[in-house]
Structure 1
């Protein structure tokens, strides 16, 4: 009875970790509610100092509205969405592999005013904080780590759930140990993904905050994304703990029969 409860719990927890990780991974890939509300970080451009970021526009007094830039850019793992001043998402880019954090490219790609676009002949003419630009490759490597480990966590969580189902009908030690192994790998992968993403964007947020007065660009963490992703990590951890209590095979209690004395 106890072993059955443990197996049922691991099935539920591994499935929960899998679904939560998938939802986090799918954030901001489509402009559908609630997918468009799930993002790693949000760039707040509503108070951007155009004269600093776009030096060629300083003399013409170009405003954010004149540039046609969105007020917010919601960054997902595969793509990003743009939102207006009220936070309403208007569109999302198509998923195209790992989404790098490249502030210059995102600004350049979203300049909609053709006359303003003529003032900027290349991405290089856009100015962003040097402390951010100098370590951009390092930050993007960490973002790639987030993406890759999350995908590994999703795949292994699925394998763990499949092993759990197999364990209900096959009572072998190998199956039990496979379940424990996959639960460990799933927890480590999801934990590394969540930790790397959180640490990277917290640090980028601090860099942008330190230069906010000059550039007017702020970054906020996506609460929905991190709530879902860390919940997936918690489910994977509980799954690992419960798997350690699953016995390898069924045991029958043997009660010795008392021999009757000879008459």
Structure 2
């Protein structure tokens, strides 16, 4: 009975890890509530210093509204959403594979669709803090790592759930060890994904904060996204602990044979 409870708890935890990670992964892919409120980080452009960030404008310095730039950009794993000064999301870009953190292109692409697009003719005219420009490739490699390991964690958690259910029927030692293997892969992958994403955007937030007086940009981490992702990591860890306590096969009680006295 105790082993059945352990396996049930393990299945529930692996299911929870899959659901939590999937919801986090789907953040900011559509402009639907609550998906549009789930994002890795929110880029705040409401105080953008246009004259510093956009060079080559001469004496004509348009406002944020004239440029068509949003006040906030919610960065997801697959895409990003644009929000106004009240934080209300207006639209989201279509999911297009791994979403790279390219602040220059985000600004340029959203200027390119308005009436003052002729003021900015090249991404080279957009100036960003040196910490961001010099390490952009490094940041994007970490973002890719976060994305790939999250997908691996979701797949491994799903396989772990399937094998766990199979373990209820077939009491073979090899099935228990396969289940533990997938649980370990799921936990490590989700942990790497959560740690990589958190560390990357914390560093970018500090880089923008150090240069806020010059560029007028700042960043906030997505509380809901990281709550979901770290909760998924916790569920995967508890699942691994439960499977470590599970017996490889059903315990069979052998009743001793009573010897009949010789007549």
**Normalization by structure 1: what TM-score?**
0.97
Question: Residues of 2 paired with 1:32 and 1:103: CA distance?
Answer: 24
- Alignment pair present for 1:179 and 2:154: no
Native 8 Å contact 1:187 1:240 kept in 2 = yes
Question: Residues of 1 paired with 2:165 and 2:234: CA distance?
Answer: 21
2:79 aligned residue: 79
Native 8 Å contact 1:7 1:243 kept in 2 = yes
Question: Residues of 1 paired with 2:204 and 2:139: CA distance?
Answer: 8
1:208 aligned residue: 208
Native 8 Å contact 1:50 1:57 kept in 2 = no
- Alignment pair present for 1:132 and 2:132: yes
Question: Residues of 2 paired with 1:63 and 1:57: CA distance?
Answer: 12
Q: RMSD across aligned C-alpha pairs, in angstroms?
A: 1.2
2:191 aligned residue: 191
- Alignment pair present for 1:146 and 2:143: no
Q: CA offsets, 1:217-255, max 9 Å, x none? A: 001100000000000000000000000111111112223
C-alpha change, 1:113 and 1:163, in structure 2 (3 Å) is: closer
Alignment partner of 1:229: what SS?
helix
- Alignment pair present for 1:48 and 2:48: yes
2:61 aligned residue: 61
Question: Residues of 2 paired with 1:39 and 1:70: CA distance?
Answer: 16
Structure 1: tracts of 5 or more residues without a match: none
Give the Å deviation of 1:261.
4.3
Question: Residues of 2 paired with 1:5 and 1:65: CA distance?
Answer: 59
- Alignment pair present for 1:157 and 2:172: no
Native 8 Å contact 1:69 1:112 kept in 2 = no
Question: Residues of 1 paired with 2:177 and 2:244: CA distance?
Answer: 9
Structure 2: tracts of 5 or more residues without a match: none
Give the Å deviation of 1:185.
0.3
Give the Å deviation of 1:62.
1.4
Give the Å deviation of 1:78.
0.2
Alignment partner of 1:110: what SS?
helix
Alignment partner of 2:82: what SS?
strand
C-alpha change, 1:185 and 1:258, in structure 2 (3 Å) is: same
Q: CA offsets, 1:133-192, max 9 Å, x none? A: 000000000000000000000111110000011101111011000000000000000000
Native 8 Å contact 2:208 2:217 kept in 1 = yes
Question: Residues of 1 paired with 2:121 and 2:33: CA distance?
Answer: 37
1:238 aligned residue: 238
Give the Å deviation of 1:259.
3.4
